[in-house]
Structure formats: structure tokens, C-alpha cells
Structure 1
Amino acid sequence: MCGIAGLLMLDGSSPPTDLIEKMTGALSHRGPDGWGAHQIGPIALGHRRLSIIDLSAAGNQPMCNEDGTIWITYNGEIYNFADLRRVLEQAGHRFRSNTDSEVVLHAYEQWGPDCLQRFNGMFAFGLWDDNRKRLWVTRDRLGVKPLFFLHTPSVFAFGSEIKALLPIPGAGRKMDYAALSYYLALNYTPAPRTLFADIRQLEPGQYLLVEADGRAQIHTYWQLEYRDPEQRDLRQGIEQFTDLLEDAVRIRLVSDVPFGSFLSGGVDSSAIAYWMSRAMREPVKTFTISFQEESFNESGYARRVAAQIGADHHERVVAADAAAILPQLVWHAEEPTADSSMLAVYYLAQMTREHVTMALSGDGADETIAGYETYQAYYLHRLYRAIPAFLRDRMLTPLIEALLPVSEGKVSFDFKLRRFLHSGGVTSEDAHALWRMIFNADQRRRLLAPLGGQPGVAAEVIDLYREYFRRSGARHPLDRMLYVDTAFYLPNDMLVKVDRMSMAHSLEVRVPFLDYRLVEFLARVPPQWKLRGLTQKKYLLKAAMRGRLPDAILDRKKAGFNLPAGPWMKRGLKPFVMDTLSPRRVRDTGLLDAEFVQSLLEQHFAGLADNSHQIWCLLTLVLWHEKFMSARTV
């Protein structure tokens, strides 16, 4: 795992040496083991190295082929690189290192961009073909690794993070107001946009070809397809799934450095840790974050799994004072996020890095095997919509809302039920989007009133969801929702959080549930194998792990990796929240209506509503603006 950067001068001139050094230096946390840069003609490539495979100097980058006509700066891991290397050696290629980076280089020589179809891994890279005077930048199928770019009349630049592009003169000075509206709705900024108007990101499964004169074209080389079930025998399906998951874990254990596993005590991370224990001779190192607030604390389940598999278990308690580092987290995230679990992942990665350099995680199972409550809510929503509108909207909904208590659970019951009640008048697919929203359309209009008629302010996020539902091509409603969450929500929210917070500590995280073979298999099995009835979520995974993990782990209610943001805000974190969201600091952003923000705070602290998600969203936005916009204004 590494940090990459590149700068192509479109007028044919040589890139400034100090600029590629600054771009690469901004990524030092992603690669503390070494750095390199190389300039050839109009392009300069930079690299920060986190050594995982072949720790020798032979693995340093940027790396070239035998005659120096093809150069690469590469971030990620190709898990089947050894098999590909044997094929390439038989074709006459010669290698100078034992890295997967060099395999990518020679695979391009052999097969061109079609080599991507042969890779099983997570990756993003930039490759310069000097014979063709062409730059090739790409991102892996599921979007585990990020790739940002800037394209102006004079330069094309790319990097693993937005920070790598900000040293370019004039870059990142203006906001994308449509992206801001999307952020307030979703709690993240969906690709290809970023909050920086001139900086974009490649979407998962895409590559970009850039000619020396600046002509550029984006290609989609992979897209998830849900098709009619190919396997209808449940017993055989469980066996196939088990074999695929076991192999996905096994191939991710190739490493020349110590490694371990995140372990929350949920079925996903427990399954990963179990299969690691079966593949390893020594005890698996497992890592868990716990909280003092009992309703958020799952450490007991994690300890039970760790004991069963004989793990070398490590645990750390995170308390409210841990939120003091939030400004630092915003810098690492480089775009605000309303997902408060970012802080928990940060501390989990910090603890893990004290012991190992690489870890496996259970991310991706919820979106591919139906682990969220929203999939169950879809069927309830169909029944709720059948109630006559006058009774549902004018009588039933107001009555239930009036009786709802305000709670401080992980995702509080009143928060979820209010979202559900207000979706009665829309289609079930639109409801799937509305249940995920932080601020609805009316609230966003009130919040962004200071921006007036700025272009993009009125951008409607529901249209993005509708486009992804259209792309899915799936027949069954559950498969349509799974496609949307795998292609849209997962790479823009969950994977961003894990990448930025782990790389803040130079920790590589691998994700077995997002092995593309496993994801494609799950897209071709009957929907009822994923959600069985209304109660059995992730049925296929739990069936595969029955008898391998304790029933108490498999049968317990999903908790999710959430932070006690609500309780913290009302206690130790309150002064920080009130200061950051003070009328003066909110007005200084020039983005938000300070009176509306104050009303949200007053409601929350008076116990009239659980606004913790909205407050966290605004908190990180103000901190982000101060760090990335206000401080850089010229």
C-alpha cells in the first residue's frame, strides 16, 4: 500500500521538480518506508512506499520496464500476482523484483489495458507509455483504493488523495456546490465529484487514458451485473460461497510483514478472523475498539470469538475525550463525513499499527449479502404505502411522532422510525434513498440559504439514486438495492472511511468480502439466500459459518460499528460542539444559515430530538472549511 502522484504538462514542458516533491510529500503518511520520483519528457511520477511485499530496494517506485519506455507508480495489492508472473515469464518477460507492481508493468506490456480483467486485487495506479505518449490511470473494480485527478488546459495531475493535488497553483480554491448539497444529504460526497470544484475522482471499475496533448477519455472496464440465479441448490450454494470466502481470505495473507484482523464481534469480522485462524500456523492477532457506554460496547462478543479461535487479542477503550483529535481526522479525511465511526476506525487503526503493518476487515458483507435493516424496511414500506394517504399522512404519522421518545441508541429507534414514517408517500426505491439522508431537501434549502442561487445548490440527490437503480438491471427489488449500495454507498462512504483512517497510520487494510469473484457469485444467487423472510439477514454467510462460530454471534441483532456521538455531545463533547458551531464560525463559512444550525443544537440539547447525525455532519463541514478553504483563500 502506498501513496501515488503524477503531473503531466500538456504544453510538452518538463514538470517542476519541486512540485512533484510537494505532491508526493503530502502523502508521506501513506508510505513512510521510502519515496521516489521520476521525470520523463512532459510527465513526472511520484511515489511514497509502504513496504508489504519484497521489502528490498528492488521494490522501490516509480518503476520501469527493461528499456525505460514504460513507467508506473502503483498503490495496492494484486493477490494473484504470482500466478500472473508465471504466465508472463513463460511469455518471455524478465523480472528484477518479487513485487506485484512489476507484474502490473509487464502485464500492461503483454495485454495492454485488458490486463485489468486478469487482476484480482485492490489498486490504483498511473502508468506512462512513452512510446504512445499516453498516461493510463485506473482504479480497482469495487473502489477499495482511491484515485483523484485534476485536469486543466495546462496540466493533468493525479494522486491517491486530494492533498496531493493541492500544491498545484490555483488548485482546490473553489467549492462544488452540488457536491455540498449531496454531502448534506448523504454524509459523503459521491464520485466523480469532490467538494473541490476542479478535482474529480475516478469511479470504481474505471480507467482514464490521457494523451500528451490533454485529450482524455474515461472507460468502464467492469460493472457489477445482477443476473437470473445460476445456482438454485442451497446446499451447493453454501459450499460454493464457503470455498470462495475461504480462498478470498487465504490469498490476502500473502505478505512479508506482520498482519492481523479487525474484530468487532459481529458475524462479518468474526468470519474473516475464523478463516485466518484456519490458514495460519501462529495465532491471529485481533484488534477491537470498545466504549464505556454499554449499549455501544461489543467487546464481549469480540473476546468470545477471539478465545474460540485462539487469537492474540488486543483491545482499547475509546472515551469522549478522544474526539479532541477531530480536526486532525478532518485533515486526513480531506472531505467532511457525517459518519462518526470514522473516529473509532482511526483509533482502531492506530492500535493495530502498533502491532502489525497489514490487517483484514469485514467490510463489504452488509452491501453484498443484505445486512442492513433498510432491506427489511423495504417490505414493510410496501405495506405502509397501502394505507390510504389521508389516514397515513394526516393522522397516523403525526400521532406516532408525538408519542415517540427521544433515545440515544446507536442509531436511535426514534431516528429510524421518523425516517420511515416520512417515506410513506414515495416509491419504495426512493424510500431507500430517503432512509439514508441526513438533511432532507427542505432542510438543505434552509441550511444553504446564504448561497442563494449559486449553481448546483439545488442539486437533488434522489436523482443520483434513481440513476443507480436504473443501472442495476436487476429484476428483484432486493438485488436492485444491493447493487445501489455496493456501487454507490460502499465506495463513497464505507471504503473512504477505512482507507483514510487506516492510511493515516500507514496501515494497509484488505477486504476479503470484496473479492470480485465472491461479489459476482452473490449477484447470481437467489435473493432469498441473502435475506430469508423478514428476519434472517445475511443468511448465506450465517449458514456457512454455522458450527464454526458460536450461535450467539450468528443470531444476535446487528449492531454496527457506531460511535456514541449522541451521548458524547450532551456531555464532554458539548463545549467543543457549541464552539465549533457558534454563530460566528458558522457565518464565517459563508455557506450555512447560522440560525437554523442553532435551532438544531437547541432541539438536541433540550432532548426534543436526536439530531446527533446532523450535528456531526455540520461539525465536520465547518472544521473542513476552516482547514481546507478559509486557510487557503487568496
Structure 2
Amino acid sequence: MCGIAGKLVDGLGARVEPGLVHRMTAALEHRGPDAQGVWTDGGIGLGSRRLAVIDLSDRAAQPMANEDGAIRLVFNGEIYNFRELRVELEARGHRFRSDSDTETIIHLYEDEGAGCVRRLDGMFAFALWDARTRSLLLARDRLGQKPLFYWHDGHSLVFGSEPKALLQDDTVPAEPDLEAIHHYLTYGYVPSPWSAFRNMRKLAPAHYLVARAGQVEITRYWSLSYGSKREESEATLIEELDHLLGQAVERRLMADVPVGALLSGGLDSSAVVALMRRATNGPIRTFSIGFDEPAYDERRFARSVATEFGTEHHELTVRPDAATLLPQLVYHYNEPFADSSALPAWCLSEMASRQVTVALSGDGGDESFLGYDRYAASILAAKLDRVPRPLRRLAARGAGWLVSGSARSTTTRLRRFVSALATDPVRRYGRWLSVTLDEQKQELYTRDFARQSRGMGGAGDQGDNSSLRLLEQRWAESDATSDVEKLAHTDIVMYLPDDLLVKMDIASMAHSLEVRSPLLDHHVVEFAARLPVSMKLRGRTS
């Protein structure tokens, strides 16, 4: 796991100063405290901060080159099938100088070019310079577990794991992107491909970018399909899922450093710990956080799981004085981020990092296996769509009389559910997830901000609501035939990579902790997408 950064400048006599790349990588030191590497050659510069996890020797140092130096790579993440790929590449005549997964990418690229990303099973973001074609390849994993930002003006391309690295370059403006702010006020996070900074973009999950001669071409290399539903018996499918999850956990235990688990006590993280115990007889360290408020404290479930599987369990109570950490979170999260669980995630990562370098988590299970309440709500709302629209509008207006309580209260959830009944499924989903509703934005936005942000105008003028159009676009990208699976797909391509995975990546890497998520193994995600809805959700039980 690392932090990566670099710059490409086109034109004769172009030069990237080594000092710039050093400053960019220094801004990412928290992501990789073990080593720094910088390489420049004319108009190209690559930098890396290394968190050593596999092959701790200097042979795995980055930037890494092939035998003749024509290909250079900086890489953040883990490739879980690199050993199988290595055997295949050695059979083709490739020779390896390290035991790292980084070198596997280089040799695979030599044979297969940019399309090699389709062969990689893992979480990754990397930059590869090919001197033979004078091209720079940027790539990001299928589900967006590892971040990658870039800025391009037609002459220069600057990239890095976090915006703070790019902003070390004076040519990258530290100016807000107003459309991104509009999206943030809608969702509580900045969705891909936007960033909070003008003209700085996130490379979207499952995409790669090739920069050559001042031009940039972006290609999607993977998409999730909900078609061709599996028809085998439930027992057969359960057995297959058990095999896939077991394999995913085993692969994520691969490391040359201590490995533990983040255990919330919920079904997903508990299943991961159970599979870890099945895979190893060695000690397992688990980490949980809790609160003094009983309604939010689930440590009793985590303790039960830890006892059942004989783990070395560690706990931390997060109290109100944790708010003093907020300035650190503001610095590390780089852009506006409204997920309140970022603070507990920070505290959990800090605790775990004192004892392990790698931790497995249960992230990703709810999106694939329909675990959120909104999925059951979507099915119920679809049934209520049979009620005449005027009656649904009347019910929606009446929802305003319901008194809101806490975010988890029954009245708050009921009010949000009923208020969206008169809309179509996309708008309904948007209203359920919006942290700032349209009518609130009408009071907040000036007409000038609404115009510049492509958000809605004031005084009831809906204007050009780019947040709604983004949601409609993501919804339409799915080949699912049911609203509930379209909703889940939208979560997988928006909410998961731009909120949940950002939260965990930033919180963990701020403490030099690598978090791996077996439930985000793309084989597991693809399997879940092909299961009938009836096998994933029955009533309110997922």
C-alpha cells in the first residue's frame, strides 16, 4: 500500500523538477512511512511513498522499472492473484527480481498493454510510464477501493492519491468547483468524477486513462451485470458463495506483516472473522469501537463473535471529546465530507494501527446483498405505486406534519419514506439519500451560485439540477430490471466508492493501516448481482 504522485508535461524541452515530485510525495507520507521513491526523466516524473506489506526488501521499492528501464510504475494497493499471474508470466519467459505484486503488473503490461488491468484481481490505483510510446497509463480498481485524482490542462497532467499532493504544483489551482459543492450539499460527499477543486477530477472506478501527446483518453474496462439470474437451488448457491467468500478472505490474509480485523459485530464483519478463523489456527486480533449511548453501541455483539472464534479482542469507547480530532480529519479528507461515521472510523483505525499493519473489514456486503433498509423500502414503495398518484401526493404533503426525531427514529424514517411516494423511483431514491433537500437549497442558493454550480435556481425554479441528472445517469447505466437492484447498483457505483470507501481509505491510511475488504472481491460482487432478489431480500430480512 502506498501513496503515489507524479506529473507529465508535453513538448520539446519539457522538464519535471525532482523537487516538485519530492514535495508531492512528502504530502502523502502518512500513506507510506516506510520509504520514498522519486524518478524523473525530462517531462515525466513519478513518486511513491511506500507502506511495506508484501516483500519488505528494497527489491520491491518504487518507482519500479522493467529490465531496460522503458517502463516505470508507481502502484498503490494489493493484487491478490499476482502469484498465479507470475507463474503464467514466468512460463512466457519473464524473469522476476522481487517477490512483489508491483513487478507482476509491469510484466503483464509488457505482454498485454493497458488491457492488463482486466486481469488484475485486487484493489489498486497505479501510474505506468511507457517510454516506447511516450504515454502515461493511470488505472483504478473495479470498485474504487483505492483513490486517484488527476488534473489536465492540455499541456500538463498532474496526478496523485490525494488532492494535497496535486496542490503542491503551483499550476494546479486551489479553487473550489461549485458544481462539486452542489453535489456535496445533495449527497454529503463529492461523487466521481468531480473533486472539490476546479478542473481536478477523480478517475472513476473500473476506468483507465491514457495520456499521450497532450491528449487524454478514458476507457471503462469493467461493469457489473445483473442479467442471467442463477437458477440453481438455494443450497447449491450457498455452497458456492461460501467457497467464494472463503477464497476472498484467504487471499486477503496474504502479507509479510501482522493482519487483524475490524469487527463491528454486524453480520458482514462477523462473517469475515469466522472465515479468518477457518483459514488459520494462528492468533487473530480484532478491533471494535463503541459509544456510551446504548442505542449506538454494538460492542456486545462484537464481544460475542470474538469469544466464539477465540480472537484477541480490543475495544475503544468514542466519547464527545473526540470532536477535538476534527481539524485533523479536515486536513486528511481533502474535500467536504459529511459522513458522521468518519470520526469513529478514524478512532478505530488509530487503535488498530498500533498492533497491525493490515486489517480486514466487512465493507461492501450491504450493497451486494441488499442489507440497507432502503432496499426493503424500495420494494414497498413499488407496491404503493399502484395507488393513484393524487392520493400519494396527498400522503407526501401530510408527511410534513410528522415530527422528526433523531436520524434513526421511526418518525424520521417514516417521514422521509412517505414524502417521496409521489415521485418516480430515481427521484425517490435521491430524496431518501439527500442530506439537503431541494426546498432547502432554494433558500440557501443565490441565483448566481445556482447558475455556476448547475444546481437548481431559487424561488421554485428547478433549473439545471446536475445532481438529479447524475443520479439518472447512474441509474440508467444498470442492466437490472428491478428498481431495487437499480438502486443497489447506484449505491455500488456512487455511495460505496465516493462515501464509504473514501471514509475508510482516508481514516486508515492517515494511520498507515491497510484495510482489505473480502466482500468487495469482484467475484463475490458479480455472484451476488446474479442472485434472484428473492434470495437476497425477504421482507425486511436480507
Return the TM-score normalized by structure 2: 0.95
In the alignment, is residue 237 of structure 1 matched against residue 237 of structure 2?
A: yes
2:39 and 2:397 map into 1 onto residues whose CA distance is 65
Contact map agreement 1:441 1:460 (CA 8 A) in 2: no
Counterpart amino acid of residue 512 in structure 2: S
Paired residues of 2:257 and 2:358 also in contact (CA < 8 A): yes
Q: How does 1:541-560 map to 2 (within 5 A)?
A: none
Structure 2 vs 1, CA of residues 121 and 57 (structure 1 numbering), >3 Å: closer, same or farther?
same
Indicate the residue corresponding to 1:86 in structure 2.
87
SS at match of 2:45: strand
SS in 2 for 1:455: helix
Aligned equivalents of 2:454, 2:85: Cα separation in 1: 48
2:528 is the alignment partner of 1:530 = no
**Aligned match of 1:560:** none
Q: Mean alpha-carbon deviation: is it higher for 104-113 or for 45-54? A: 104-113
Write the mapping of 1:313-352 to structure 2, written as runs, cut at 5 A: 313-352=313-352
The 10-residue stretch of structure 1 (424-433 or 38-47) with the greater mean CA deviation from structure 2? 424-433
The reply to whether residue 477 of structure 1 matches residue 483 of structure 2 is: yes
Match of 1:184 in 2: 185
Whether the aligned pair in 2 keeps the contact of 1:126 and 1:136 (CA below 8 Å) is yes
Separation in 2, partners of 1:276, 1:453: 50
Q: Mapping of 1:551-570 within 5 angstroms?
A: none
Equivalent-residue separation in structure 1 for 2:392 and 2:489 (angstroms): 30
Amino acid across the alignment from 2:176: M
Given the superposition, is the C-alpha separation of residues 145 and 132 from structure 1 closer, same or farther in structure 2, using an over 3 Å criterion? Answer: same
Alignment partners' CA distance in 2, 1:330 and 1:88: 44
Secondary structure, counterpart of 1:4 in structure 2:
strand
Q: Is the 8 A contact 1:359 1:508 kept in 2?
A: yes
2: CA distance, partners of 1:453 / 1:338: 21
Please give the root-mean-square deviation of Cα atoms over the aligned residues, in Å.
1.5
Which sits farther off after the overlay, 180-189 or 436-445? 436-445
Matching of residues 38-57 of structure 1 within 5 Å: 38-57=39-58
Task: Give the deviation of 1:19 after TM superposition.
Answer: 0.8
- Deviations, residues 329-355 of structure 1 (Å, cap 9, x unaligned): 011111111110000000000000011
For 2:204, the equivalent position in structure 1 comes to 203
Which ranges of structure 1 fall in alignment gaps of 5 or more residues?
538-634
Contact 1:451 1:457 in 2 (8 A): no
Question: Aligned partner of 2:432: which letter?
Answer: W
* AA aligned opposite 2:474: Y
For the residue of structure 1 that corresponds to 2:375, the secondary structure is helix
Q: Helix, strand or coil: the match of 2:126? A: strand
In structure 2, distance between residues paired with 1:34 and 1:92:
31
- Greater Cα shift, 167-176 or 47-56: 167-176
Task: Tell me the SS of whatever aligns to 1:435.
Answer: helix
1:477-532 per-residue CA deviation (whole Å, 9 max, x = no partner) reads 22222211111211111111110111010100001011111111111121111112
Contact 2:30/2:509 (<8 A) preserved: yes
Paired position in structure 2 for 1:121: 122
Q: Is the 8 A contact 2:192 2:203 kept in 1?
A: yes
Note the C-alpha offset of 1:282: 1.4
Kept in 2, the 8 Å contact 1:231–1:524? The answer is no
The match for 1:15 is 16
Q: Which of 496, 512, 531 matches 1:506?
A: 512
TM-score, normalisation: structure 1:
0.82
Match of 2:440 among 440, 443, 452: 443
The one-letter code sitting in structure 2 at the alignment partner of 1:221 is: Y
Partner of 1:489: 495
SS at match of 1:339: coil
Is 1:148–1:199's contact at 8 Å kept on the other side of the alignment? yes
Q: Distance in 2 between matches of 1:198 and 1:160?
A: 16
| 1:28 maps onto 2:25 in alignment | no
Kept in 1: contact 2:425–2:483 (CA 8 A): no
How much has 1:420 moved relative to structure 2?
Answer: 1.1
Aligned AA (2:433): R
Question: Equivalents in 2 of 1:112, 1:123: separation in Å?
Answer: 17
Post-superposition CA distance 1:169-192 (Å, at most 9, x none):
142322211111111010111101
Letter in 1 for 2:429: H
1:453 positional shift: 5.1
**Cα shift readout 1:532-579 (whole Å, capped 9, x = no counterpart):** 2x1221xxxxxxxxxxxxxxxxxxxxxxxxxxxxxxxxxxxxxxxxxx
The structure-2 alpha-carbon separation of the partners of 1:67 and 1:449, relative to structure 1 and needing over 3 Å to count, comes to same
Q: Which residue of 2 aligns with 1:463?
A: 469
Q: 1:262: how far off? A: 0.4
Moved more, 198-207 or 470-479: 470-479
Match of 1:563 in 2: none
| Residue matched to 1:219 | 219
How far off is 1:390 after superposition? 4.5
More deviation in 385-394 or 236-245?
385-394
Cα distance in 2 between the residues matched to 1:223 and 1:74: 23
Name the aligned partner's letter for residue 53 of structure 2. Answer: I
Displacement of 1:235 in angstroms is: 0.9
CA shift digits 1:210-251 (9 cap, x unpaired): 01x211100111111111213331110111111101110001
**Which amino acid is the alignment partner of residue 482 of structure 1?**
A
Shift of 1:391: 4.3
Unaligned 5+ runs, structure 2: 456-464
Cross-structure match for 2:462: none
Residues 363-400 of structure 1: CA deviation (Å, up to 9, x unaligned): 00000110011111112223444444554444x45555
Instruction: Provide, for residues 441-481 of structure 1, a one-character-per-residue CA deviation record: whole Å limited to 9, x for no partner.
Output: 22123222284454224233122111111110111222222
SS in 2 for 1:366: helix
Aligned with 1:150: secondary structure?
strand
Distance 2:403 2:449 in 1: 36
Q: Which amino acid aligns with 2:280?
A: M
The equivalent residue for 2:312 is 312
One-letter code of the match for 1:241? L
Question: What SS class does the counterpart of residue 129 from structure 2 fall into?
Answer: strand
Paired position in structure 2 for 1:594: none
**Contact 2:404–2:415, Cα closer than 8 Å, also in 1:** no
Change (3 A) 1:343 1:265: same
Match of 2:366 in 1: 366
Deviations 1:80-116 (A, max 9, x none): 1111111111111111111000111111012112211
DSSP-derived class of the 1:82 partner: helix
Residues 291 and 453 from structure 1, CA distance in 2 versus in 1: closer, same or farther, beyond 3 angstroms? closer
Contact 1:448 1:457 in 2 (8 A): no
Q: Which amino acid aligns with 1:412?
A: S
Q: CA deviation at 1:412?
A: 2.8
Counterpart contact for 2:141–2:207, Cα < 8 Å: yes
**2:130 touches 2:136 (CA, 8 Å); kept in 1?**
yes
The residue that corresponds to 1:101 in the other structure is 102
Query: Is the Cα–Cα contact under 8 Å of residues 373 and 540 in structure 2 kept in the other structure?
Result: no
- Contact conserved, 1:143 with 1:491, CA < 8 A, in 2? yes
